[in-house]
Amino acid sequence: MPRLRLLASIALLVMPLAACAPYRAGSFQTGLTRFPEQRTSRGCLDIGLAAAYDSEAEGPVLDVYLGNRCDESVWVDLSALQVNAQLSTGERIFVGLYDPRAELQPALLGGRESVMERIELEAPTDSVVLCAYLDALSAAASAGPEQVLCAEVAGA
């Protein structure tokens, strides 16, 4: 039993320390969590994307991982994210973000900080691939040609 308590105590000490560590540019990792395989760098932002079905959501969800590569804070606006869904038929449609309480607002992501946000989409349940257009996400991500990041919907 003492060994179990020791392991629990170590976990309680390590987890907060990992969460407080500054984000390292290009690491695609926040604390002990790695960004998903669908990822890119754009200006000051490292961006990761995963898509899945969540039992508590009516449609698919998009997990957006952001890491600020720069020392300065950058504005991020998840509400401006444009997403399209590829349906099981092969058809592609633009879908809305489900935000009934207007919680998705522009926010500052501090220098060397990271965040993950799960966003429910107003998309059909036969969505198999979700693609996010990254330019509207942040001025820090809009340099260069338009960039799109796609993820297969887990469980589709």
- Sketch out the chain's domains with CATH numbers: 23-154 (2.60.40)
Average confidence (pLDDT) over 62-86: 95
Q: Is 62 left (phi over 0), alpha (psi -120 to 50) or beta?
A: beta
In the predicted model, is pLDDT for residue 97 greater than 70?
yes
pLDDT at 9: 32
Q: How far apart are CA 117 and CA 45, in angstroms?
A: 14
The H or E element that residue 20 is part of is helix 2-20
Q: Is 60 left (phi over 0), alpha (psi -120 to 50) or beta?
A: beta
pTM given for the model = 0.83
At 109, the pLDDT band (50, 70, 90 cuts) reads: very high
Q: Tell me the per-residue pLDDT of 118-141, one tens digit each, with 9 for 90 and over.
A: 999 999 999 999 999 998 888 766
* 131: β partners: 84, 150
In the predicted model, is pLDDT for residue 146 greater than 90?
no
Q: Count other Cβ atoms within 10 Å, centred on residue 15.
A: 12
In the predicted model, what is the mean pLDDT of the chain?
A: 85
In the predicted model, is pLDDT for residue 21 greater than 90?
no
Q: How far apart are CA 137 and CA 41, in angstroms?
A: 13
Portion of the chain with pLDDT greater than 70, in percent: 83
pLDDT at 1: 38
Q: How far apart are CA 92 and CA 84, in angstroms?
A: 7
In sequence order, the 6+-apart residues with CB closer than 8 A to the CB of 103 are: none
In the predicted model, is pLDDT for residue 17 greater than 50?
no
